[in-house]
């Protein structure tokens, strides 16, 4: 048991992806089991009705933050007409985007324009800037992408914090798997660049795991909370499976497992055992 009380961020990604994902996130917010969600602007289940429903749920849990989930990867399409490179008429898959960034084949100005456009749509729908800005499939951390991303946030939402994916823990605790290690490495330059622009970011990050193995989410959450400091962030992906989700994302039934655990008494007890609060 950890004696020091900690308030952390538990952020559900992908609001706007599908009606089933939207409903699950709203239900958990209303039950006090989430205190942040990031919203996609280029997906089929976002619009004024979905935003109004989310705002109504957040009104019942006023400590809940709403962020922008910048989307730059397939199978979604850009808002800006001149965005490149594309895969057909869609963004590139995240593996290709990461490779292109590592090889310095991206144009940060085009990324900058696309992120500005998504920030502007968010402002139009919500009537304000986002509380924070992160990225779908962690694309905001990629080389060259991060340059355009951070400049756009500085211009349109300078008071927002941005999400980095580093653990900021002792080395032995940081090497938890290949995915976490990659995010940790990519986040180093992201943090340096954000700091130079005067942008705030979460002190540490947890929540990455191999979705394809469909593990039990309870032990994972226990691992995520271990050593997480005040203000640390845990990413999650609750949702209910529907046809839209099946068409757009490979992460389907595991979202329902995450929802079930987050809605359970076991999760409430785990927070209390670790002296962690979301309020």
pLDDT exceeds 60 at position 162: yes
Over residues 80-93, mean pLDDT? 96
pLDDT exceeds 90 at position 62: no
Q: Are 115 and 150 in contact (CB under 8 A)?
A: no
What percent of the chain is predicted at pLDDT more than 70? 95
What mean pLDDT is reported for the chain?
Answer: 94
How would DSSP label each residue in the chain? ---S-EE-EEEEEEETS-HHHHHHHHHHHHTTS-SEEEE-SSSTT-SHHHHHHHHHHHHTSTT-EEEEEE--STT---SSTT--S-BTTBPPPHHHHHHHHHTT-S-HHHHHHHHHHHHHHHHHHHSS--SEEEEGGGGGGSTTHHHHHHHHHHHH-TTSEE------S-HHHH-S-HHHHHHHHHHHHHHHHHHHTT--B-S-EE----GGG---HHHHHHHHHTTPPTT-EEEE------HHHHHH-S--HHHHHHHHHHTSHHHHHHHHHTTEE--
The reported pLDDT for the residue numbered 1 is 47
pLDDT exceeds 90 at position 64: yes
Over residues 221-228, mean pLDDT? 93
pLDDT exceeds 80 at position 147: yes
pLDDT exceeds 50 at position 176: yes
Q: What is the pLDDT of residues 148-161, one digit of tens each?
A: 999 999 999 999 99
Q: Are 239 and 20 in contact (CB under 8 A)?
A: yes
Over residues 81-88, mean pLDDT? 96
pLDDT bin (cut points 50, 70, 90) of residue 168 is low
Over residues 188-216, mean pLDDT? 94
Over residues 115-129, mean pLDDT? 98
Instruction: Identify the residue with better confidence: 255 or 2.
Output: 255
The reported pLDDT for the residue numbered 213 is 84
The reported pLDDT for the residue numbered 157 is 98
The reported pLDDT for the residue numbered 181 is 80
pLDDT bin (cut points 50, 70, 90) of residue 129 is very high
Q: Are 17 and 245 in contact (CB under 8 A)?
A: yes
């Amino acid at each position: 048991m950890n004696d020091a009380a900690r308030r952390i961020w538990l952020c559900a990604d992908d609001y706007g992806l599908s009606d089933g994902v939207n409903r699950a996130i709203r239900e958990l917010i209303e039950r006090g089991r989430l205190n942040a969600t990031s919203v996609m602007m280029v997906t089929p289940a976002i619009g004024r009705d979905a935003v109004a429903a989310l705002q109504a749920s957040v009104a019942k849990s006023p400590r809940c933050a709403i962020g922008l989930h910048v989307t730059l990867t397939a199978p979604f399409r850009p808002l800006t007409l001149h965005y490149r490179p594309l895969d057909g008429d869609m963004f590139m898959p995240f593996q290709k985007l990461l490779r292109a960034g590592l090889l310095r084949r991206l144009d940060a100005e085009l990324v900058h324009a696309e992120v500005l456009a998504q920030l502007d749509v968010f402002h139009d729908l919500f009537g304000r800037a986002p509380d924070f800005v992160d990225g779908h499939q962690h694309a905001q951390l990629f080389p060259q992408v991060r340059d355009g991303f951070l400049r756009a946030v500085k211009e349109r939402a300078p008071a927002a914090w941005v999400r980095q994916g580093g653990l900021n823990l002792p080395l032995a605790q940081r090497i938890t798997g290949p995915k976490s290690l990659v995010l940790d490495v990519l986040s180093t330059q992201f943090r340096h660049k954000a700091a130079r622009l005067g942008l705030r970011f979460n002190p540490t990050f947890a929540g990455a795991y191999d979705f394809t193995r469909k593990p039990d989410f309870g032990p994972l959450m226990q691992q995520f909370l271990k050593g997480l400091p005040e203000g640390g962030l845990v990413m999650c992906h609750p949702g209910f499976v529907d046809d839209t989700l099946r068409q757009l994302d490979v992460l389907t039934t595991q979202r329902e497992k995450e929802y079930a655990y987050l809605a359970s008494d076991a999760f409430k007890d785990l927070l209390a055992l670790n002296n962690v609060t979301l309020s």
